[in-house]
Amino acid sequence: MSSSTLPALPDSDAESDHSTGSLVLPFTLEQDPKRTHQYRTTEKLGRRNKIYWDYPLDALNALDVPDTNNGDWVAAEHSQTTFTRLFPVIKKSKFDTDYKNYKLLFAFQRTENGVTYIKGALQHRKTSEIVMLTATNKPRAEIKEGKPKPSRAEGWHVYGVHMIAPPCFWRAFKAC
3-state secondary structure of 43: coil
Structural domain count, the chain = 1
Type and span of the H or E element at 171: helix 167-172
Would you say residue 32 lies in a domain? no
Domain that holds residue 41: 37-175
Please tell me the predicted confidence (pLDDT) of residue 55: 64
**Residue 22 above 50 pLDDT?**
no
Tell me: the pLDDT tens digits for 90-126?
776 555 667 888 999 999 999 999 999 999 999 888 8
Would you say residue 134 lies in a domain? yes
Would you say residue 169 lies in a domain? yes
Q: Which is more confidently placed, 53 or 168?
A: 168
Tell me: the pLDDT tens digits for 142-158?
776 667 888 999 999 99
Query: Is-above-0.75 flag for pTM?
Result: no
End-to-end CA distance of the chain: give it in Å, rounded.
29
The count of C-alpha atoms lying within 13 angstroms of the C-alpha of 19, restricted to the half-sphere facing its C-beta, is: 22
Confidence band of 45 (pLDDT split at 50, 70, 90): low
Would you say residue 168 lies in a domain? yes
Would you say residue 57 lies in a domain? yes
> What does DSSP assign to residue 155?
T
Would you say residue 1 lies in a domain? no
Would you say residue 44 lies in a domain? yes
